[in-house]
Structure 1
Amino acid sequence: MDRHDGFREFVLARQQALMRTAYLLVGDAHLAEDLLQSVLVKIAGKWPGLARDGNPKAYTRRALVNQYISWRRRPRPEAPSADPPEHGVSHDEETLDRIMLRQALAKLTRKQRAVIVLRFWEDLTEAQTAEALGCSVGNVKSQTHHALARLRALAPELAGPDSLSDLQEVAR
């Protein structure tokens, strides 16, 4: 019996969702791959006990967020410009909204961005988000409030009744 029985299947089943979460956290596909890979290496070492006694999905999500928050060597990716190019390419309004939202997300603190990603992309409850971040529900509420206020200040043109649903479209 292989000590990693079930790990491969778990990764194959959750890889796309984990990659989306990692991408939304770091805002760069290559850094998201690095983040996810480093977390999966750690999870693989703990897999036998985790698979037997724990909730691998929740544990992996929490490890992903914790690794993202603690990454000190991670360079900030260059943010795309919200200004459409002068020649050649035409952007529709939805594309420009995504660009502005990505720029605004990149300017949040890591914890604020993690809260926004978990609450509005992963669609976790406040309690589930608090568990994933290892903090109180009150902290999640506070971080969400401050993050949304900052997003509204950074991208006022996106503020509106549908602006939170736009977060779910940002990675698509």
Structure 2
Amino acid sequence: MTFEEYVGSRGPALLRLARLLTGDAHRAEDLTQDVLARAYVHWRRIARADRPDVYVRRMLVNANNSWWRRRSSRELAVDTFAERPQRGDLDGEAAARDEMWRLIRALPDRQRAVLVLRYYEDLDDHTIAQILDCSPVTVRTHAMRALTHLRERCGVPTTKGSRP
């Protein structure tokens, strides 16, 4: 598979993953473009891998984590904007979705990455572990912690023995 074919078939999915990891459409576009530029340089080696898509997704997750560590952009995220509609202006579903995304963005990087890869990209624990360079048990631990945190913040009672 050529690099152009790969980007044509997997580019939208990579952009969606970046959007879910960053929570910002513009940052996601920049992140995806940077990762694809680095992947292009090493495409021969990446294409020979058993699962090139796992490799590129891992590059995307790592690049997002590196950006947060560097904080070189000096951007300051804010919760409110001058033109933002008031809560009463949003319907119940949109308000709930906004609140859920706020909670997801507040999760630690690894927990957020596990949730995005599992529930939005529909990947299994083994594949997520390969992307994040950890064990499947660690993936399950991150998922449980993230879901427990979200349940507590949303006021949903947890049941004994429940699994994500």
Identity of aligned residues (%): 39
Show CA shifts across 1:102-126 (max 9, x none).
1001110011100110111111111
Give 1:80 deviation, angstroms.
5.5
Change (3 A) 1:53 1:85: closer
**What letter matches 2:77 in structure 1?**
P
State how 1:55-94 maps to structure 2 within 5 Å. Answer: 55-71=51-67, 72-73=70-71, 75=75, 77-79=77-79, 85=86, 90-94=89-93
In structure 2, C-alpha distance between the alignment counterparts of 1:27 and 1:57, rounded to whole Å: 22
Q: Which moved more, 1:68-77 or 1:123-132?
A: 68-77
In structure 2, C-alpha distance between the alignment counterparts of 1:76 and 1:154, rounded to whole Å: 24
In structure 2, C-alpha distance between the alignment counterparts of 1:68 and 1:91, rounded to whole Å: 30
The match for 1:165 is none
> Unpaired runs of 5+ in structure 1?
160-172
Change (3 A) 1:40 1:137: same
- Superposition TM-score, scaled by structure 1 size: 0.79
> Unpaired runs of 5+ in structure 2?
159-164
In structure 2, C-alpha distance between the alignment counterparts of 1:80 and 1:114, rounded to whole Å: 24
Aligned residues: 153
- The reply to whether residue 11 of structure 1 matches residue 7 of structure 2 is yes
Give the 3-state SS of the residue equivalent to 1:79 in structure 2. coil
In structure 2, C-alpha distance between the alignment counterparts of 1:51 and 1:121, rounded to whole Å: 25
Change (3 A) 1:58 1:21: same
Give 1:51 deviation, angstroms.
1.5
In structure 2, C-alpha distance between the alignment counterparts of 1:22 and 1:76, rounded to whole Å: 19
The match for 2:162 is none
The match for 1:110 is 109
In structure 2, C-alpha distance between the alignment counterparts of 1:113 and 1:76, rounded to whole Å: 19
Give the 3-state SS of the residue equivalent to 2:42 in structure 1. helix
CA RMSD between the two structures? 2.6
In structure 1, C-alpha distance between the alignment counterparts of 2:53 and 2:18, rounded to whole Å: 14
In structure 1, C-alpha distance between the alignment counterparts of 2:76 and 2:32, rounded to whole Å: 17
The match for 1:138 is 137
The match for 1:124 is 123
